[in-house]
Amino acid sequence: MSRPAHRKPEYHKINKDLFVLTYGALVAQLCKDYEKDEDVNKYLDKMGYGIGTRLVEDFLARSCVRRCHSYSEITDIIAQVAFKMYLGITPSVTCNNSSRTEFSLILDKNPLVEFVEELPAGRSSLCYCNLLCGIIRGALEMVHLAADVTFLQDRLKGDRVTEIGITFLRKLDEKKYRRKK
Amino acid sequence: MTVHNLYLFDRNGVCLHYSEWHRKKQAGIPKEEEYKLMYGMLFSIRSFVSKMSPLDMYAESEEMPRKDGFLAFQTSRYKLHYYETPTGIKVVMNTDLGVGPIRDVLHHIYSALYVELVVKNPLCPLGQTVQSELFRSRLDSYVRSLPFFSARAG
């Protein structure tokens, strides 16, 4: 009796420019829909959150990472495995506080902004890649970790590097399913 | 050798999917009660197993990359296999006693079926029973193609 081959599902790759330009079109449309930068940032984060809650399942299915025992391990995995898998880049990780709950991902290459020279006039506080923050936040929440994820520095705003800050908050409890009486 | 049935739960205890192939005896309670009972039992066993473990749970050894507790239990008639992801998705399969460890099978059900067909489908809402007919039929063909599945319950 032959064992059926457990073929890995084929992961379709798409053209990078198509992806980058689609993201740009998304941000441009949000800018048309909302006047205030805070609103655009908020909706990018919200969309990212929805993506992250599902993306994490794909990530776990494909990467078979071991269970992590510390926040720094988790941040390393986000930078070295997840970013590599989905964006093809590997940001470097730094720890920002002694209790090891605040970390930064330093991106020196960011494919999403490849065609963006500078932020449009009147949009100086737009976080162009805020989708990424929402994705990380949504993904972490699905593995029972609450975190604040924001851009600390942004090359598009004139900073030297692009830096995403992840602050781990308390661990979310697994709620036992309660019987409805 | 055969597969009796399969449950799929999410992190809140919602039964996402249930299929049976060879089940001669029903539990005698409504299906909703049965799912709650199964989930509650699994939740309790998981915490029991880690609490009562005489060894440190998180060994750093490379041979068992995912040493995370409860794997299976067996009775004199059947064996229950368990697989859980860090996001709380639980795959539970009851087989007969001749079947060895099938973590890779349960992982395949998670990764190639649940993730590919349900999670990645934006029209499939999460957190409720999977309505996708494609998922149901692919899962059925996959289980029927397993080497330890025989059409005749043995």
Over residues B116-129, the pLDDT tens digits come to 999 999 999 999 99
Domain regions of chain A by residue span: 16-168
Predicted pLDDT at A121: 87
Please measure the distance between the N-terminal and C-terminal CA atoms of chain A and give it in whole angstroms. 49
Nearest to B112 among A9, A56, A143 (CB): A9
**CB spacing of B104 vs A6 below 8 angstroms:** yes
Structural domains of chain B in order of their starting residue, each with its CATH number: 3-145 (3.30.450.70)
- The mean pLDDT value for A4-20 works out to 72
Using DSSP's 3-state secondary structure scheme, residue A115 falls into coil
**CB spacing of B85 vs A57 below 8 angstroms:** yes
Predicted pLDDT at B40: 96
Could you tell me where the beta strands, DSSP code E, fall in A11-161? 92-95, 102-107, 145-153
User: Which H or E run includes B83?
Assistant: strand B79-84
Q: What is the CATH number of domain A16-168?
A: 3.30.1380.20
pLDDT band at A67 (very low <50, low <70, confident <90, very high): confident
Predicted pLDDT at B62: 43
The verdict on A53 touching B (C-beta cutoff 8 Å) is yes
pLDDT, tens digit, 9 for 90 and up, residues A147-175: 999 999 999 998 999 999 999 998 776 55
**CB spacing of A61 vs B36 below 8 angstroms:** no
d(CA B124, CA B119): 7
Does the ipTM exceed 0.95? no
Q: Quick one: how far is CA A81 from the chain centroid? A: 12
Which residue on chain B is closest to A177 by alpha carbon? B13
Using DSSP's 3-state secondary structure scheme, residue A162 falls into strand
pLDDT of B95 above 90: yes
pLDDT, tens digit, 9 for 90 and up, residues B27-73: 899 999 999 999 999 999 999 998 888 887 655 544 444 456 899 99
Predicted pLDDT at B68: 61
pLDDT, tens digit, 9 for 90 and up, residues A98-151: 888 999 999 988 999 999 988 888 889 999 999 999 999 999 999 999 999 999
d(CA B81, CA B99): 10
Q: What is the mean pLDDT of chain A?
A: 88
